[in-house]
Structure formats: C-alpha cells, structure tokens
Structure 1
Amino acid sequence: MRAAVSLRGVLSALLSLLLFHEATASVTVRKTGRAPTGYEVEFRYINATARRVLIGGGLQPFTDQFHTTGTLHRTNGRFDPHDYQPGDFWVSNPWPQLPEDYVWPYEMRRSADREDEWVYTAPFPSGTYTYAFLPDCDYAPNCTVDTGKLVVDPDVPPFMNVPGDQLSSNFVVPFDAKFQASPELNTNFDYTLPAPHPCRNRGRVLHVNYTSPGSLHPAKDVHDFVIYLPPGYGRSKTKKEYPLLYLSHGANGNGADWENLGRISHIMDNLIRLGHIPPTVVVAPTFYNLDASHQDGKKFLYGNRSHTVPVPAARLVRENYEKYLFPFVESNYDVCRNSSCRAFAGLSMGGVLTYEMLVNATDRFDYFGLFAPATLPPYLSDKDLARNPALKKKGIFVAYGLYDFVFQWARDLQDALDGLGIKHVTRVTPFGSHAWNAFQDQVWFFGKTVLWKPLPLNLRGRR
C-alpha cells in the first residue's frame, strides 16, 4: 500500500523578505515499500527564470563507517542517495570543502509537464533533513543567502521568530526495518517523528519575547527564546511545577535551531510518551545579541553568514541569563524552582556554556548535558573541587560523535572529570559528526539515561 505525507504549507508573508522572486514549492515524503530505503522524497519548485537549480541548505551526501575518518569530517564516501545501502548515514562536511569537480547529487531537472517547474526525486533513509533551493548555483557550498542564490521554501517556512533567523526548511523520513536495518549501526530516527494521537501526546512550541536591557534583537532591549510546553501543560486545575530544561544552540545559531533543525518538540513528546522522562518544559534561549558590548558593538545577523561577531563569553551569557532570562521564565511559567528538577544542556559552544553553568552555577541545576562540547583547557582542578564539592553530586552527560572535530576536546574534558572522580555518563554517537543528526541522538540519550534520574546516578552499563 502506498501512503503519502505532504509537507505543503501556506506561504508566509513574513518570509517574503528572504525571497528574491516569486516561487512556490513542495516536498512530499512517500512510503514506497521498495528498495533501497522503502521511502522516497519528491521536491518540486517553480522558477521560470533559473537556468539550473540545486538543493542545499543542509542536505549532505551519504557515507558509511568504512569510508569515514574522524579527522575534520573528512569522508571519502560521498554517495548519491540513489546508491543507498543499509548503514549509510550523512555527515556534515564543511572542512575541507567538497572538491570543485565533485558532482552534487541533489540537482533538480525541468518537469516534463511544465517549463517553469523543477523536480527532484530520490530515496532517503530515516532522519531529519534541512534544505533550501539554490537557483543558478554551480557549486552548492558557495551558494548562500549572501550571494542571492539561496531560497527558503516558501510553502514549508522554517520555524523562526524573525525573518532571516533561519535559512532552511525541514522534513522527516521514517525508518523502514526491511530496507534500512544494519548490523553495524542503528540509524532509526523515528523518535523525531510527530507523536501519535496529537491531542494526548503532543506539546506546543512557541516563540517568546522578553525584556532584556541592552539586547539588540529582535528589538532594542528585547530578547527571545523558544519554549516547549509538554502535553497537558495548563490543563490542570491545580498549579503544577514542571521540570525545566534549558537547551542551548551553538555558534552562529539561535534559540529556534533546536526546533527548526533538531525537531526538539517531537523528541520531547516521544521521550514523555514512552515514559523516559516526566512532562518537562524546555526553554531554548539565544546567546547572541544580548548586549552590544559582548560583540564588539555589532549585532549578529543570522541571515548573513559573512557578517561575523565573536561568540559572547560564557561568563557574560550566564550572568545575563541569571539577571533576566531565569527570573522571567520562573515568573511566567509553571516550572520547578529548585535544582532537583532543573537542567542545563547545549551543543558545541552551547556545551561550553553548559560547562560554565556546571562550574559557576552549580547549585542552580542538578543535571547537565554537554553535547559535542567545544571546551578547551584549563579544566576543573583539585582546588575547584575543594571549593565546590557539589560537583560530585550532579547528573552529568558528555556526548560526541565518532567523526566530530571536537572528539578529542570532549575526551579531554572527560579525562579531567575522571581525574577528579566526578562521575558522568558518556555517549559516543557512532554515526555522528558535528551535525544535527548527532545532536538529536545525544539529547535523546540524555533523556533516556540521565535527565531527572535519581542521584547519584547508577552508571552501571551506561559507559
């Protein structure tokens, strides 16, 4: 039986700021029941003037564990999805760039039905995929919003607070064990699919603006975060305090990344539905644009990657959150107000911020998740532990991908924790690079093994 799930949406007027000409598009995920993956994805895009259209915005070639090394994302296996074999996966590959003569697999063709329509169809395995259309682009890595050769899908607009904050849309492909099961790797990402029974099992995800003096974005003295409210939130007649997880993005990102690129609402719905965690509120803040003095007086522009500012120092972000963000959340939402049911986690530079919270806001949180943390020495010392013995009583999770460029940094952090006798749970994502499929895997395992579990953690079988 063939089934189709269409991701067609309604054109957002706000998104018009990102588009340089009128366009309509669609992405359809179909269950085929045939090799190589059991599913296919069809892209359609209307553009009457383009001479060529590629698809980029996060789509990557595939590889396997036998053609991939852990050195700066290097991969010799750059496979077209049409050549998929069980156990294949994709890795982020910005360093080094693909060679100029590499044939990008995601190239659209003119439709046989109409001259202005472009079509691309390919099999895809389980996972969340981000994409954008690249009209008149000859080499995908060079075609960005800066060059005017990147168009966000107008019919599947990204989840974002302000136009320009996100530059790709997304879709999810289910797992088919008949065609995708592999003895080497488990690449089943069905935990990123929408939970069944929407009324009972799905929470809500919203953008929230709050007063933050000195903030530059989305308006003067206004900052923003994304909040996930679990199923049942607000329905009880008696006030309930929900466990609270703060979840940070990484460098060059913002609070909407975890939803738009990571599908965090789906992951949380499924963690809750399957009984891994109790209903939990998630707040995903943005650490850029908090204060001009943190960024050499420049505003960070999410939609313009050529305009760069330094990542604000973790100490300054922590102090800002403690002054404005944390009090706002606790004053306006039914959330826990003690460390036993509060957690902080983040990816990459958000992992650095999580480490800052672990060391200098130890008493505020009992659980910490460091996903592919870009931490560098100096690490904790014996003197630090003597001054802060509570570090040994926390639920700490350190995760990184087997092909992640932060692999050694994360191992060094683990060695420092081990040297002080600070117990922690480890997850090495076997297919992971510094990319969202690995971050999804890591937050999923954080929820399953550490988050809200009794302390001290029982680490038996979890290393």
Structure 2
Amino acid sequence: MTIRAASAVLSLLCLTESASVVIRKTSQGPTGYEVDFRYVNVTAKRVLIGGGIQPFTDQFHTTGTSFRANGRYDPHDYQPGDFYVSNPSPQLPAEPAYRWPYEMTQSEDGIWTYTAPLPSGIYSFAYLVNCNYAPNCSIDTGHLVIDPDLPPFMNVQGDQVASSFQVPFDPEFQASPEINTNFDYALAAPKEHRGTVKTVNYTSPGSIHPEPDVHDFSIYLPAEYGSVSGKKYPLLYLSHGAGGNGADWENLGRMSHIMDNLIRVGHIPPTVVVTPSFYNLEADSPRFIYGNKSNNVPVPPAQVVRENFEKFLFPWVEQHYEVCQNASCRAFAGLSMGGVLTYEMFVNATDKFDYYGMFSPATNAPYIDAASVSANPGLLRKGIMVAYGLYDFVFPQARELQTALDAVGIRYINRVTPFGSHYWNTWQDELWWFGQKVLWKPLPFGVQTGRQGRRLPVS
C-alpha cells in the first residue's frame, strides 16, 4: 500500500511489524471499500482469517439455515443485496469443492496479506495459523492468534478471542432495492457525542471470575454523564448469549457507537448501559473462560442468574452510578440465551423493568398463560420487543414466543431482520431498532407505537 493511499484511508491502526487492518475507501466496485489485512509470521506455513468473518449469500439462494448448500460467495464476488450469515468456516480441506475465501498469501519476507472488498457491517476475526478449522485452533498452542495491534475490548486477558472492525456503507455500490444493509449507525459518532465504555469489577459473593467473590460487567456512560448535577439516567441492562461474556456487546457489536448515535439523533435521551456476564456466578459451578471449548460449561439456569443479579449486581450499580431506580426508566434486553434471561426477568422480575428486548431468543415452553397474567397483571403493561433474523436458527422458537404473547393479549413490537442469522449484524440491527421503537416510549403499547421515529441519515 502506498504512502499516498495510507493518508486517505479510514485506518484502524498503524502498519507495524506484527499486524494491521486498514479500511480503504476506493470509490470503486464492488463495494466502494477494501480491507487490507497484514500479519507477520516467518514460521507459518498457512494462515487463514477466521474466528467470525463469514462468506456471503443473498436472499434468492438462501432459505432458512440451508445456506450451506447455496450461495456461499467469496467477497470478491459481492453484488448489491448480498449479506453475510453465521456460517462457521469449513474444516479444510474436508470440502475440496469449496475454497474458504479468507486465505492469506505470503511474500518472501514472511509477511502475510489479504485484501477483500467488504461491504458495510461488523466483522470479527482472528488469524488461524497452520490450522484448517477454527474450532480446532487454540490460543494456547499458537494456532489461533488475536491481532496483536487491534486488541479486543475485554476485562482480563483471555476474556475475548477475536478482534473486530466496522466497514462503512457506500450507497453508490452497496444500495439494493431488495434489502437495506447500511450499518453506519454502528460507526463512531463525532467526538463530542461519544460516551465512554469500560469494564468494572464488583463484589459478588460466590463468584469465581475474575477473582473469588468478584464478578465483572461492562458499562457505557453517555457523553453527557456527570455534567448535570444530580441527574439520574435511564438504565439498560444488555445481556450476551451462550459462550460469551459482558464484553461481547462492545467488542463484537459496537454497542457504544450504536448508543452514541441513538442519542445523537434524538431517538432516546442519554442512557446508561450495563452489559453483565452470566457465567462464573457460583463457587460450585465450573469456570467458564471465553474460547475454551473443552470445558463445555453449561449455561447457568436463568432463574439462578436473575436471583444473583437482583441480590448483587442491581444494587451495586444503583449505589455506584447516577442511574434511575424505578421501572419506568429501566430496561433489560439480551441475545439468544440472553433473550431467555430477558424473558425470565419479564416473568419473574416484572416490577423492576418496564422495557424488555428479546433478541434472537432461545426460549422454550412452557410459556406464560392466562393464569400467569391473572396472577401478575403487570405483564400486560410492559414495552416488549421480540426480534430475530430471517435466517436465524431460533426463528421457530421466537415465533412460538410470539404466539404465547398473542394468546394472552400482550402487545409487543416485532422486528424480523431481513438479512439476519444468529450473529452480530442481526443483533446490531435489533439494538438499533429497539432504541428507536421501544426504549422509553409511552406505555402500554398501541397500534401507533413504533410508527414514529427519526432515521439516521446516511453518512
């Protein structure tokens, strides 16, 4: 890459002797942007880019989760309307008819490079060194390498195993009449509108990570926070899913950017966001460390997590931050198993939150019924969003949840992400629309709820 080109890029980091990722605006097809990966390893025999980055598909060659047999495209073959779905990298060369597109090439001096014309979206990745299948690659053996110059957002070392970057949208090359895949709402807001995000350790008796009797969460504080004396801010709890932790929403989803933009364009007032971790809460449970698949640590029961959060997390946050302490300005949302936890909060902590976001919820029967509502009529007066992707493997479960809510007369907002699978582009979309259409809107919801709201202009 020339020095002149480097001066015109949206650069995530400077080129170094170890690794770099640079996003370049090309103003040329197929996407208007190219992403350059550079990684130095003089002993590697083969390097793939995996750990989250995906091939592409389109709506006309994809049905449900059968995309593995259809429309698995190299990004160099991108056409407007294409999008990526959760599609784990194949075990190479177990699929000789299919070539994993993200393979780096080596120059004589041991520098590995790869360039792809990626469209708008969030991309997580790690380098797979001398390893053909991501689930078989590990950090301990050196087969999975996190970009050393683009470290992930995390609490302690080992809490995340992938870095990420966000590519802008170019309407000249990416606009499609079939589908809108503009994710610019997850790009960084202007500096004066940016909040802060950090990890926090708090006292949690019985917890086992990161230390005995200490647990962790990440917190987003809006740009305005601390500038208005005595002001209490609306509070959103946002949960990760199975196999994740509280840093996921920031590292893999750019939660702070989405919140900055929701606030900047006036969809919501300045709001504090807490993203807790639901593993490692009990001394007698096995320790979960992100990416350590050999443990097969089960997801703790939602009831156990709820009771722990009510006893330790919620009071600690209220004591240490200027946040609202009544249901009208508090919300709980989560993805996948975090959606199950959200449903648990809705049913059994009804008086603590007025707003609930169930994103790709992995819920199962039994659901609430008429007797449940009779015993807890507050269930009818909440602001709920049920959201999932059109290609999401929990699609049937989410629909069953909606059927149960319909059966007892509970109103809710529904979002079916048209390009969505069980992955972060879906959950970015759902958080964005949750902020626009649900958070802090008048209750109870009616037929006009969600019909108002401003759209973030294309940048």
Measured in 2, the distance between the counterparts of 1:455 and 1:37 equals 42
Aligned residues: 444
Contact between 1:73 and 1:94, CA under 8 Å: does it hold in 2?
no
Match of 1:233 in 2: 225
Residue correspondence of structure 1 range 434-449 to structure 2 within 5 A: 434-449=422-437
2:293 equivalent to 1:305: yes
Measured in 1, the distance between the counterparts of 2:235 and 2:296 equals 32
User: 1:17-45 CA distances to partner (integer Å, 9 max, x unpaired)?
Assistant: xxxxxx71000000000000000000000
After the TM superposition, which segments of 4 or more aligned residues of structure 1 sit over 6 Å from their partners? 95-98
Contact between 1:146 and 1:305, CA under 8 Å: does it hold in 2?
no
**Residue 138 (structure 1) shift:** 2.9
Work out which of the residue numbers 248, 255, 260 in structure 2 matches 1:257. 248
2:308 equivalent to 1:320: yes
Measured in 2, the distance between the counterparts of 1:141 and 1:291 equals 27
Helix, strand or coil for the counterpart of 2:385? strand
Contact between 1:426 and 1:462, CA under 8 Å: does it hold in 2?
no
Measured in 2, the distance between the counterparts of 1:40 and 1:319 equals 47
Match of 1:14 in 2: none
Measured in 1, the distance between the counterparts of 2:83 and 2:29 equals 16
Match of 1:135 in 2: 129
2:209 equivalent to 1:217: yes
2:72 equivalent to 1:78: yes
2:180 equivalent to 1:192: no
Measured in 2, the distance between the counterparts of 1:280 and 1:427 equals 22
Match of 2:159 in 1: 165
Measured in 2, the distance between the counterparts of 1:48 and 1:80 equals 27
Contact between 1:146 and 1:306, CA under 8 Å: does it hold in 2?
no
Measured in 2, the distance between the counterparts of 1:97 and 1:430 equals 28
Of 183-192 and 147-156, more deviation after overlay is shown by 147-156
Match of 2:81 in 1: 87
**Residue 66 (structure 1) shift:** 1.1
Helix, strand or coil for the counterpart of 1:428? strand
2:257 equivalent to 1:266: yes
Cα 1:161/1:75, change in 2 over 3 Å = farther
TM-score, normalising length: structure 2: 0.93
Residue correspondence of structure 1 range 360-439 to structure 2 within 5 A: 360-439=348-427
Cα 1:423/1:146, change in 2 over 3 Å = farther
Helix, strand or coil for the counterpart of 1:404? coil
Helix, strand or coil for the counterpart of 2:87? coil
TM-score, normalising length: structure 1: 0.93
Measured in 2, the distance between the counterparts of 1:75 and 1:278 equals 45
Contact between 2:90 and 2:133, CA under 8 Å: does it hold in 1?
no
Contact between 2:346 and 2:356, CA under 8 Å: does it hold in 1?
yes
User: 1:68-90 CA distances to partner (integer Å, 9 max, x unpaired)?
Assistant: 12136645111111000001000
Match of 1:68 in 2: 62
Counterpart residue identity of residue 254, structure 1: N
Contact between 1:247 and 1:346, CA under 8 Å: does it hold in 2?
yes
User: 1:361-385 CA distances to partner (integer Å, 9 max, x unpaired)?
Assistant: 0010000000000000000011100
Q: What runs of 5+ residues in structure 1 fail to find an aligned partner?
A: 12-22
**Residue 414 (structure 1) shift:** 0.2
Contact between 1:36 and 1:123, CA under 8 Å: does it hold in 2?
yes
Contact between 1:59 and 1:130, CA under 8 Å: does it hold in 2?
yes
Of 146-155 and 249-258, more deviation after overlay is shown by 146-155
Measured in 2, the distance between the counterparts of 1:32 and 1:450 equals 37
**Residue 10 (structure 1) shift:** 11
Helix, strand or coil for the counterpart of 1:154? coil
Q: What runs of 5+ residues in structure 2 fail to find an aligned partner?
A: 452-459
Match of 2:455 in 1: none
User: 1:324-382 CA distances to partner (integer Å, 9 max, x unpaired)?
Assistant: 00000000000001000000000000000000000000010000000000000000011
Cα 1:443/1:308, change in 2 over 3 Å = same
Cα 1:72/1:201, change in 2 over 3 Å = same
Helix, strand or coil for the counterpart of 1:292? coil
Match of 2:22 in 1: 28
Match of 1:115 in 2: 109
Match of 2:12 in 1: 7
Measured in 2, the distance between the counterparts of 1:273 and 1:374 equals 32
Helix, strand or coil for the counterpart of 2:151? coil
Measured in 2, the distance between the counterparts of 1:142 and 1:453 equals 46
Helix, strand or coil for the counterpart of 1:30? strand
2:448 equivalent to 1:460: yes
Contact between 1:74 and 1:95, CA under 8 Å: does it hold in 2?
no
Measured in 1, the distance between the counterparts of 2:405 and 2:67 equals 26
Measured in 1, the distance between the counterparts of 2:352 and 2:26 equals 50
Aligned-residue RMSD, C-alpha: 1.9
Helix, strand or coil for the counterpart of 1:178? helix
Q: Percent identity?
A: 68
Measured in 2, the distance between the counterparts of 1:461 and 1:281 equals 23
**Residue 144 (structure 1) shift:** 3.9
User: 1:131-169 CA distances to partner (integer Å, 9 max, x unpaired)?
Assistant: 111111234454343664100000000000111110000
Match of 2:329 in 1: 341
Counterpart residue identity of residue 106, structure 2: R
Counterpart residue identity of residue 99, structure 2: V
Work out which of the residue numbers 139, 145, 158 in structure 2 matches 1:151. 145
Of 434-443 and 305-314, more deviation after overlay is shown by 305-314
Cα 1:149/1:65, change in 2 over 3 Å = same
